[in-house]
């Protein structure tokens, strides 16, 4: 089991609904990443946090996606409203600092019906 | 064109064979990662390297910065090595340092 905790492991919901994912990084890791992996593709960065601040969210579809890390520890990624194309694996990773190895969670597999 | 290209996309080999997976990238990088992803999604970091060669058990990773190319080798392959192997790079530009990933190489080792 990964040291980076993510929940839920699986989520099935209908389009137009709201969905939220949670990530608890390794203790002491200041940098946190959210990635999206579409089936058959490599992951793509959605957002990067350094402590509680967003470092990069240029690839985050901000009309429907939001991410927060209010206390600089755990993080939540939200989609509202969900669309069929959002079906993917959502991966969280953390690292001690920038330019350090990233440790990945087991991911949340999202299916939109 | 993807910034990170891997080959082959799929590879099936017999147990014991020497395996090579290649990765080419088109941007300046500060580091290159090799990752392993098993069915179910979990990703494990195998190597992070910026020059030369690293070895861990039966796995060897090399990188040639001038040629923008890296290889992952598996010696004495075993069915438990079956997984998707992903190459990812961190750009050397300033600012954010999220990884850019290749599409992965799906490896199957048959007994």
> Which tens digit of pLDDT belongs to each residue from A67-84?
999 898 999 999 999 999
pLDDT band of residue B40 (cuts 50, 70, 90) is confident
> Which pLDDT band holds residue B39 (cuts at 50, 70, 90)?
confident
Burial of A41 (0-12, 13-18, 19+ CB in 10 A): middle
Q: Which of B56-65, B66-75, B88-97 has the lowest mean pLDDT?
A: B88-97
Binary contact (B102, A106; C-beta < 8 A): no
Contact A20, A6 (CB under 8 A): no
Answer yes or no: do A43 and B99 touch at CB < 8 A: yes
The answer to whether the Cβ–Cβ distance between B100 and A45 falls below 8 Å is yes
Bridging pattern class, strands B100-101 and A44-50? unpaired
Model confidence at B95, pLDDT cuts 50, 70, 90, reads: low
Give the residue carrying structure tokens 């990765």: B23
Residues of chain B with C-beta less than 8 angstroms from the C-beta of A49? none
Q: Which residues pair with residue A91 across a beta bridge?
A: A35
User: How far is it, in rounded angstroms, from Cα A80 to Cα B97?
Assistant: 27
Q: Is the bond preceding residue A81 a cis peptide, omega within 30 degrees?
A: yes
Give me the helices (H) in chain B, please. none
């Amino acid at each position: 089991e990964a040291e980076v905790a993510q929940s839920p492991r699986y989520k099935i919901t209908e389009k137009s609904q709201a969905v939220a994912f949670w990530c608890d990084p390794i203790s002491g890791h200041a940098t946190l990443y959210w990635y999206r992996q579409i089936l058959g593709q490599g992951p793509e960065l959605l957002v990067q946090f350094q402590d509680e601040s967003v470092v990069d969210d240029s690839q985050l579809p901000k009309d429907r996606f939001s991410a927060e890390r209010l206390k600089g520890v755990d993080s939540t990624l939200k989609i509202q409203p969900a669309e069929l194309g959002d079906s993917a694996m959502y991966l969280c990773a953390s690292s001690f600092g920038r330019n350090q190895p990233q440790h990945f969670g087991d991911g949340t597999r999202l299916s939109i019906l | 064109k993807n910034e990170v290209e891997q080959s082959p996309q799929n590879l099936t080999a017999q147990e014991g064979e020497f395996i090579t997976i290649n990765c080419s990238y088109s941007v300046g990088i500060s580091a290159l990662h090799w990752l392993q992803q098993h069915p179910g999604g979990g990703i494990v970091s195998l190597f992070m390297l910026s020059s030369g060669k690293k070895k861990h058990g039966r796995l060897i990773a090399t990188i040639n910065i001038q040629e923008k190319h890296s290889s992952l080798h598996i010696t004495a392959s075993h069915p438990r090595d079956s997984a998707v192997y992903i190459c990812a790079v961190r750009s050397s530009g300033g600012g954010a340092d999220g990884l850019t990933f290749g599409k992965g190489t799906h490896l199957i080792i048959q007994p």
